C-alpha cells in the first residue's frame, strides 16, 4: 500500500489532566523517536508518525509502551476532490493486493474533527459510493469483512483499513525508577517487562552466586537485558552486578542449612534496597509468584521481606507458570531463559517452606547478615 503516515493512538494517557497528559505525550513522542528515525506530530489525541523507513516503523512501533494501537495510513486534503482521488487509488490497491473484491462485504467508518461542509455520516455515505464506483462490493455496516476508515481532522484526511495492536501501558520513563532483581530464569525478565509497560525505568541487579553457580548465569543475564532493551529505547536498562557467593557461604556456614534460600532472598532484597537508595529508585521488583518455589510461599515471602522498608513489587504474584511463559515467549526472553545455566548448588536438599519470622531473625543474627550485606555491597559494579 502507498502509505505515507502512521497514526498512533494511546489509551489511559487521555484520562490524565491536561498538564500530565501533555507531559506523557511528549515522553511518548521522545520514545518513538528513539526507537526509529521519524518525524512526529501531535494533534488532539492522535500522534502522526512519518518514518524514514516505513516498514521499520510499522515493525518497531509495537515495542513502544503507551501505544495502544496504530494504523498505516494514506493522507490527503479534506475536500471532496482530495478524498475521492485518494480513496479511489486506495481501493484499487486493496483490490490488487487481494484484500477487496466484489464478494467482500465492506463498511466505511468516518470520524471528523473540525468545521466542514459535510457531516461524518454524509462523508461515510459518499465514500461508500466512491468504493462501489471501483468495485461493486456489497455494503454491510453490521458485520463487514473489511472496514475502511476515513479520519478527517481540519484540513487533512487519512484513509486506512488496519488497526494494529500496540503494547499499551504508559510511556517508559513516566513513572519513576525501580531496581529489578533479574536472574537468568523465566520469571524475573517478565516482571521487568511488565514494570516497563507501566512506565518504570529499570535498573537490573544481578546477584552472581559463584562458586555456587557457573559463568553461564551472568552471560544469560546480559542476553536477557539486551532483549528487554529493545523495548527500552530512550530509557535503556542500567545493569549492576554483585558477587554474592561469599554471602551465601556465610549463610551455609553459620545458619541452619534449610534456611539458605530464605536468607539468600532476604539478602537480595536488602542489597536491592541499598542500590535503590543510591540510584534514586522508588521500589524493588522481583519475579515472585505465590507458591511457585520454596522461597515464594506466603510465609516465606513475609519472612524474606522483613526489615526492608522500600516497597517490593511482584507483578507476577497471581500468575501461574503457563501464563508467565506465554508472556516470555511473546517478548522474546523465553528462548534465552530456557538455556541450561547449571543451576545453583547452594540450594539445600530440603529448603524451608514455612519460615517462622523469629527463626529467620535468629538465622540472620547467626550469620551476621548486616555485615555480610555491607561487605557484598562494597563490591557492586556496573555492567553498562
Q: Among 111, 139, 165, which residue terminates a domain? A: 165
- Answer yes or no: do 201 and 310 share one domain: yes
Q: Among 137, 165, 193, which residue terminates a domain? A: 165
Q: Among 113, 136, 165, which residue terminates a domain? A: 165
- Answer yes or no: do 148 and 193 share one domain: no
Q: Is residue 126 part of a domain?
A: yes
- Answer yes or no: do 368 and 273 share one domain: yes
Q: Is residue 202 part of a domain?
A: yes
- Answer yes or no: do 249 and 345 share one domain: yes
pLDDT of 351 above 90:
no
- Answer yes or no: do 133 and 239 share one domain: no
- Answer yes or no: do 130 and 195 share one domain: no
* Predicted confidence band of residue 70 (pLDDT cuts 50, 70, 90): very high
Q: Is residue 272 part of a domain?
A: yes
- Answer yes or no: do 134 and 238 share one domain: no
Whether the bond between 211 and the residue before it is cis, its omega within 30 degrees of 0, is yes
Highest-pLDDT range among 38-47, 142-151, 289-298? 142-151
DSSP state of 138: P
- Answer yes or no: do 66 and 138 share one domain: yes
What is the domain count for the chain?
2
Contacts 24+ apart (CB under 8 A), 90-98: 90/1, 90/2, 90/148, 90/159, 91/130, 91/131, 91/134, 91/135, 91/148, 92/134, 93/1, 93/2, 94/1, 94/146, 94/148, 94/161, 95/134, 95/135, 97/1
| Domain span including residue 17 | 5-165
Q: Is residue 78 part of a domain?
A: yes
Give per-residue pLDDT as tens, 214-266: 888 999 999 999 999 999 999 999 999 999 999 999 999 999 999 999 999 99
pLDDT of 37 above 90:
yes
pLDDT, average across residues 107-125:
95
Residue 42 has phi, psi (to 5 degrees) of -110, 140
- Answer yes or no: do 120 and 55 share one domain: yes
pLDDT of residue 384: 65
- Answer yes or no: do 240 and 274 share one domain: yes
Tell me the whole-structure pTM to 2 decimals.
Answer: 0.93
Q: Is residue 170 part of a domain?
A: no
- Answer yes or no: do 211 and 349 share one domain: yes
CATH number for the domain harbouring residue 252: 3.40.50.620
pLDDT, average across residues 52-70:
96
pLDDT of residue 78: 95
CATH number for the domain harbouring residue 121: 3.30.2130.30
* Predicted confidence band of residue 349 (pLDDT cuts 50, 70, 90): confident
Amino acid at each position: 500500500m502507498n502509505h505515507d503516515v502512521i497514526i498512533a493512538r494511546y489509551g489511559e494517557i487521555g484520562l490524565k489532566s491536561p498538564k500530565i497528559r501533555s507531559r506523557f505525550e511528549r515522553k511518548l513522542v521522545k520514545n518513538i523517536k528513539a526507537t526509529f528515525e521519524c518525524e512526529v506530530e501531535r494533534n488532539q489525541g492522535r500522534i502522526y508518525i512519518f518514518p524514514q523507513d516505513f516498514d521499520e516503523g510499522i515493525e518497531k512501533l509495537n515495542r513502544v509502551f503507551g501505544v495502544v494501537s496504530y494504523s498505516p495510513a494514506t493522507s490527503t486534503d479534506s475536500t471532496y476532490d482530495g478524498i475521492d482521488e485518494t480513496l479511489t487509488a486506495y481501493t484499487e490497491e486493496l483490490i490488487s493486493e487481494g484484500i477487496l473484491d466484489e464478494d467482500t462485504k465492506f463498511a466505511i467508518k468516518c470520524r471528523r474533527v473540525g468545521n466542514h461542509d459535510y457531516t461524518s455520516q454524509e462523508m461515510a455515505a459518499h465514500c461508500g459510493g466512491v468504493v462501489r464506483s471501483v468495485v461493486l462490493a456489497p455494503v454491510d455496516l453490521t458485520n463487514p469483512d473489511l472496514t475502511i476508515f476515513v479520519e478527517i481532522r481540519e484540513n487533512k484526511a487519512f484513509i486506512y483499513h488496519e488497526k494494529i495492536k500496540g503494547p499499551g501501558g504508559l510511556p517508559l520513563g513516566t513513572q519513576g525508577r525501580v531496581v529489578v532483581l533479574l536472574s537468568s530464569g523465566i520469571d524475573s525478565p517478565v516482571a521487568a517487562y511488565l514494570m516497563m509497560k507501566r512506565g518504570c525505568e529499570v535498573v537490573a541487579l544481578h546477584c552472581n552466586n559463584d562458586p555456587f553457580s557457573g559463568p553461564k548465569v551472568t552471560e544469560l543475564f546480559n542476553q536477557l537485558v539486551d532483549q528487554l532493551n529493545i523495548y527500552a529505547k530512550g530509557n535503556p536498562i542500567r545493569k549492576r552486578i554483585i558477587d554474592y557467593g561469599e554471602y551465601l557461604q556465610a549463610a551455609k556456614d553459620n545458619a541452619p542449612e534449610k534456611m539458605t534460600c530464605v536468607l539468600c532472598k532476604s539478602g537480595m532484597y536488602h542489597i536491592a534496597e541499598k542500590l535503590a537508595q543510591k540510584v534514586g529508585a522508588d521500589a524493588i521488583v522481583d519475579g515472585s509468584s505465590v507458591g511457585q518455589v520454596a522461597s515464594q510461599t506466603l510465609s516465606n515471602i513475609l519472612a524474606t521481606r522483613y526489615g526492608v522498608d522500600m516497597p517490593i513489587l511482584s507483578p507476577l504474584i497471581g500468575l501461574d507458570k503457563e501464563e508467565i511463559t506465554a508472556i516470555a515467549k511473546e517478548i522474546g526472553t523465553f528462548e534465552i531463559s530456557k538455556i541450561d545455566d547449571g543451576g545453583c548448588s547452594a540450594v539445600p536438599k530440603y529448603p524451608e517452606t514455612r519460615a517462622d519470622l523469629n527463626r529467620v531473625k535468629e538465622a540472620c543474627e547467626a550469620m551476621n547478615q548486616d555485615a555480610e550485606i555491607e561487605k557484598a555491597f562494597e563490591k557492586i559494579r556496573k555492567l553498562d
